[in-house]
Amino acid sequence: MNRTKNRKGGGWRHIAPKSEYYTLTADFERGVYYWKQSNDFYQTGWPMPPILLELCELLNKSFGLEGEDRINSIMIIINEGGTPIENDGFTEPFAHCAPLHMDKHRNGFFFDLSLGYAREMVLTSTDAAHKVDGEETIYTESKSAKVANYVVGRQRLASASLAYISQPDNKVYKHGVRAEPEQPLNEPRFSIVARVKTRHPGGRMQGEHFAPVDPVAAARVLPGGDLWKEFVPRFKGVAGGVGGSTALDPIHHVGYVLIRNAIPVDPAQATAIRNSNFDDADGGLPNENFKRDGTRLQTKSTKHEWCRTLSAQQAEVLRRHRLLATSDCREKLVVKMRALKSVPTDGYDESSTAPQTGDQGEHTDESVERMSKMEDQDKPLATLYAIERGTRLRIRSLNGEWEIITLEPGDLLVFRGDACHNGLGYAHQNIRVHAYVHPQGFKSTSELHGCSSC
């Protein structure tokens, strides 16, 4: 998840995204931190999976760790490359880094297993007696005063290397891993930090201590919780990067993805949608001949309260499924949300797959030629959200096969702007919600493009 901390002087700053894992004691307690800047996050993390438990045992055995020195906490931290923003000699937020610091846990020592891009770790001292001739001095601020940090050692952490900072060294030297602007976006560094959390010496539930897992507090910082902040990698989709091409993602392999029960229908919200003013002044939306006949209507305004609420809900779902990510790391936006209403078409057979009167003409929402010049992850999307049973859309996958997608209430269909599709007619009235998902700054022509131009 993404993390934030208080910035000196107020405001917020990003710190490197992480996943945290813990082991449980015989009394089903876990080690936690409860510092003032992160009280809401003290129950973050998951029980360790077998592969991390094996890593703990290997470290314990290799370094003779016993009793309260046995590893019981692991963090996996991501350091990506990117444009640096200066902050106390280090950089943020996209070029993730570890600013100069000393670890505060009582046992003091820790291990750092590096995977991926080899960044440089530095050790510094504020004692001028430790100054090394010809080495760098890094200046930081403490209580509005500049502090000189003399670099006493540096080492580039090769992939699969293990760094060990002892307790004596952690009490004397600060350590840090600076961002490197030259680090390729498709070569992240994964830092697997193993350390020990201990009981509070006074038995108190403050600072570093053991505590039972609190399901309520933990739920807030797990996926779906109000404090969960999904991390969207900058390197996702970059050719040759981790995970390879975005062509492996369903949305870019098929052209659409159906997320079942994405947003459970709120009855009050559904009533507000149905009671909205559907504009038929211009004859409704285009039919099979791209003419307007009043069988398919939409709400004119996008400023309804339900629009604001549902747009935010959709954005959260799309974020979890990594459908808002772009190549410039600015999230796409859910825009132009409107409810659609289809009035019944006489004689319409919803069980038939053959084209009928009442169906829309086959079209794409965006110009295929224009989208062909965009990176996959930058391409605009559209969504269809069902509040009623029987909601359907006919769509052609990127490999040319047509399919009729049937949505249940709460389902969200997401499709690319160059996916050929058409709305279907209905034997009974149907109301659903349509929206666009555009990269920031994208200007749509708001025209339908016939599939003959695909």
**From CA 35, how far away is CA 39, in angstroms rounded?**
6
Band (pLDDT 50/70/90 cuts) for residue 312 is: very high
* pLDDT over threshold 70, residue 134: yes
Give the pairing type, strands 46-47 and 18-22.
Answer: parallel
Mean pLDDT over 41-53 rounds to 87
The predicted structure's pLDDT at residue 21? 92
Pick the CATH number of 246-453 from 3.40.50.2000, 3.40.50.1820, 2.60.120.620, 3.40.50.1000: 2.60.120.620
- Residue 85 structure tokens: 């923003």
The predicted structure's pLDDT at residue 330? 84
The predicted structure's pLDDT at residue 9? 40
The predicted structure's pLDDT at residue 78? 87
* CATH 3.40.50.620 assigned to 3-220: no
User: Between residues 104 and 166, which one has the greater pLDDT?
Assistant: 166
Q: Structural domain boundaries of the chain?
A: 3-220, 246-453
User: Between residues 82 and 48, which one has the greater pLDDT?
Assistant: 48
Q: What is the pTM of this model?
A: 0.51
Only one residue has tokens 């702007």, namely: 417
* Range in 10-14, 103-107, 162-166 with the lowest mean pLDDT: 10-14
For the segment 251-283, what is each residue's pLDDT rounded down to a tens digit? 888 899 998 889 999 999 999 999 998 875 444
For the segment 160-195, what is each residue's pLDDT rounded down to a tens digit? 999 999 999 999 999 999 877 777 767 889 999 999
User: Between residues 142 and 191, which one has the greater pLDDT?
Assistant: 191
Mean pLDDT over 114-143 rounds to 90
Band (pLDDT 50/70/90 cuts) for residue 340 is: very high
N-to-C CA span, the chain: 39
Instruction: Phi first, then psi: give them for residue 243, nearest 5 degrees.
Output: 85, -10
* pLDDT over threshold 50, residue 319: yes
The predicted structure's pLDDT at residue 249? 65
Band (pLDDT 50/70/90 cuts) for residue 92 is: very low
For the segment 207-221, what is each residue's pLDDT rounded down to a tens digit? 788 888 888 888 888
* pLDDT over threshold 70, residue 332: yes
* Range in 107-111, 174-178, 293-297 with the lowest mean pLDDT: 293-297
The predicted structure's pLDDT at residue 438? 96
Give CA separation, 357 vs 344, 370, 432, 449, in Å.
11, 31, 20, 20
